[in-house]
Structure 1
Amino acid sequence: MKRYSFRPLLVASLLFAGLQTVSAQDYLVNSLKNNKSENSKDSFIFTDVVNLENTPVKSQGSSGTCWSYAANSFIESEMIRMGKEPVEISQIYTARNAYIEKGKNYVKMHGAITLGDGGALHDVINMYEKYGALPQAEYTGLNYGTTRNQFAEMAAINEGLLAAVVKNPNGKLTPNWEKAYISVLDTYLGEVPEKFTYKGKKYTPQTFAKEVVGINADDYVEISSLKEHPYYSQFVLMVPDNWSLDLVYNVKMNDLTDIIDNAIKKGYSVGWAGDVSEKGFSWKNGVAYIPAKEFSDMTAEEKENIFKGPQKEMEITEDMRQEAFDNYETQDDHGMHIVGITKDQNGKEYYMIKNSWGASNDYQGYMYMSKNFVKYKTTAILLHKGGLPKGIAKKLNIEQ
């Protein structure tokens, strides 16, 4: 598979010893431990079925911006699919713009809506459409001497600032609060260039998005699956990071993997959002699946062998999926990018997933996720409408 090379990203790899109890949207603490397993790569033998071209793995550092890294990686792959030379898009420019819009919503909702780093895949498309895009070299977000994203202090200041605004101490909001809020973002992330030069030509963020990146925001759809809502209609996905209250399309559970399969085989990659807190998810081993037995019911030996080669999986139903969502067992805690399909030594298919935690695990920043894991733990997927199977597109009343 062809890999595109960019100027090295000025963020250090975020190394993990594992992620069973830490939410990927939270601020994450770097580990200096080697993140490679002792046996997984020898126990699993993966063979590519479809391996789509994609850009190098990045690291989100100590920030909850996985959604921006995932969906911007997705856009970069869209450029490749369209025959363009991909450009490394500034993930933090996208996040900055989402922070602005999120802050406005927070104040309008009197603080009764999510703040912080978290976001959704559709935020990247929405911010692209409204604010344009910048090359990463023009907006690194590293404005105070760091070599990786480190947003905790900025987030705490913004939270305090907006909390004061919502208290409305003057009895009437002034226009200055928004300027103060944006000035914090400028101080920590850097001011946005009005114009810049890329390959010898002058651009604004809007003209760069239109002329260089070249995607049409209206061509992208976000899809989920919950049986509590009518299938093949739209609904507001009620997760904390859907701060913009965007609508998603609702399909049956098995449609999720049918859509991903169709898209990948037609050359369209897919953005993925979902839950990574399951015991069967191991960044270190580079594998995610749903064990046939509950972890609490496993013997010590079974727990020890959970990633020693392919294992039997639990069969997932729509009732299980809905129950896990209702019980907070499935949350929107991470975003990644699906770039291919592979199969193990037993012929079972998995999705090849590109992560944003650096190239530190067994598969240099990629991992393999079973289709049952996707059915059970997905909160939403993002793709070009051309990747939809024609029958599903027709049911959703989407013109391709």
Structure 2
Amino acid sequence: MKNNSLLFVLVFTSFFSFSQTYEFETTIDLEATDVISQGSTGTCWSFSASSFLESEVMRLTGKQIDLSEMYTVRHTYSKKAWNYVMRQGKIQFSQGGLGHDVINSVSEYGVVPNDVYSGLKEGEKRHNHSKMADSLKTILKAYLDDSKTYASDWKNDIEQTLDYYLGDDVKSFMFEGERYTPQSFLKMTKLNPKDYITITSFTHEPFYTNFVLNIPDNFSNGDFYNVTLDDMVTVANHALKSGYTIELDCDVSEKTFSSKHGLAIVPATDNANALLNVSPEKDITADYRQQEFENFNTTDDHLMHITGMLKDQKGTTYYKVKNSWGKNGLRNDGYIYMSEAYFRLKTISIMIHKDALPNAIKTKLVLN
């Protein structure tokens, strides 16, 4: 009887120890604006990078400014359309993009507050770009099908379509009693587009060099700095510990990425309760990461904004990731707690301020 009782205690204790619900302790929590929704659009790239820049403005000036995502989207669509036509339709034309597209737009066109350029018509409360995207594609297809008989100027037709759906371009505006242009407003925010770099980690290119990563949404042929997987994690951790937030491009197609549960993990085994109870995770190697990228299990589905770090009761590190799917009905008020294992496996790239690089890694890179 004693032996049976002891066995029951051991089994119960073992079961309980592996069935603990998640308990998180925040270790780093950097300033960020409120979680908002990108609506029915594929513009997470602008929402994530705009949120990242809003945190940068807070870090640089102490001001909390809601930047316009759609001002950037509008100008980036013009660039996409030109690129699509000049490549004779042999590339993707979609709502997607990457963080550096926002930086490119900021550099050329400046920034404006969201209340100056919301991208919403009067009475609208939610972004929906399906009709606009279809209209833009129709114009581009008609021109490419027969440019000689196209009845008008396709570039002007694109601009008029963007004006109709998103609003006319902004030349000047008032903010806190002063008049600004988008470029003078950029100067006021103290943002310098040249200060931001994109870091990645893939084995098909030499480490500590920069290269154009061939993924569908990199229509602008942006450069990525390639570092080892361990160094990419080191860069992220050092940036957050030094007070810098991070823009994140990653894959969110896994069943264990859940906005409902506010969690992203890589369980070691197929575990139906992994999103509810703390579970061991896979050891993510550079080779496994590369394999998942090359077989398209890891793609550039979604961009978000890392604003802090946490740990669970077992000491596992997580990143506090601000999403752009709103927060109604979602755990963690729309944030995702992403384990380091998920970050290592599913991150395509991170964008940071170059001063957030650890010195030991900065010396290995030749920054432009």
TM-score (norm 2): 0.92
* Pairwise CA RMSD: 1.5
Shift of 1:144: 5.8
Tell me, yes or no, if the aligned pair for 1:158 and 1:184 is still in contact at 8 Å. yes
User: What is residue 387 of structure 1 aligned with on the other side?
Assistant: 356
Provide closer, same or farther for how the CA distance between residues 239 and 257 of structure 1 changes in structure 2, counting only shifts above 3 A. Answer: same
Letter in 1 for 2:82: K
| Secondary structure of 1:188's aligned partner | helix
CA distance in 1, matches of 2:307, 2:351: 12
Q: Identity of paired residues, percent?
A: 41
| Secondary structure of 2:161's aligned partner | helix
Off by >6 Å, runs of 4+ in structure 1: none
Shift of 1:265: 0.2
Letter in 1 for 2:177: G
Query: In the TM superposition, what are the counterparts of 1:176-255 in structure 2 within 5 Å?
Result: 176-211=153-188, 213-255=189-231
Shift of 1:174: 8.9
Query: In the TM superposition, what are the counterparts of 1:142-181 in structure 2 within 5 Å?
Result: 142-143=120-121, 145-170=123-148, 176-181=153-158
Tell me, yes or no, if the aligned pair for 2:61 and 2:190 is still in contact at 8 Å. no
CA distance in 2, matches of 1:344, 1:142: 40
User: What is residue 240 of structure 2 aligned with on the other side?
Assistant: 264
User: What is residue 124 of structure 1 aligned with on the other side?
Assistant: 102
Q: Unaligned 5+ residue runs, structure 2?
A: 1-19
CA distance in 2, matches of 1:127, 1:390: 29
Shift of 1:146: 2.2
Query: In the TM superposition, what are the counterparts of 1:198-347 in structure 2 within 5 Å?
Result: 198-211=175-188, 213-293=189-269, 298=270, 302-303=271-272, 305-347=273-315
CA distance in 2, matches of 1:175, 1:206: 31
Shift of 1:193: 2.5
Shift of 1:162: 0.6
User: What is residue 49 of structure 2 aligned with on the other side?
Assistant: 71
Query: In the TM superposition, what are the counterparts of 1:347-358 in structure 2 within 5 Å?
Result: 347-358=315-326
CA distance in 2, matches of 1:144, 1:99: 22
CA distance in 2, matches of 1:53, 1:91: 19
User: What is residue 29 of structure 2 aligned with on the other side?
Assistant: 51
User: What is residue 368 of structure 1 aligned with on the other side?
Assistant: 337
Tell me, yes or no, if the aligned pair for 1:144 and 1:188 is still in contact at 8 Å. no
Tell me, yes or no, if the aligned pair for 1:65 and 1:95 is still in contact at 8 Å. yes
Is 2:62 aligned against 1:84? yes
CA distance in 1, matches of 2:82, 2:123: 29
CA distance in 2, matches of 1:174, 1:345: 66
TM-score (norm 1): 0.85
CA distance in 2, matches of 1:385, 1:272: 15
CA distance in 2, matches of 1:158, 1:236: 27
| Secondary structure of 2:338's aligned partner | strand
Letter in 1 for 2:230: N
Shift of 1:309: 2.2
CA distance in 2, matches of 1:198, 1:356: 25
| Secondary structure of 1:186's aligned partner | helix
The number of aligned residues is 348
Shift of 1:388: 0.7
Tell me, yes or no, if the aligned pair for 2:263 and 2:336 is still in contact at 8 Å. yes
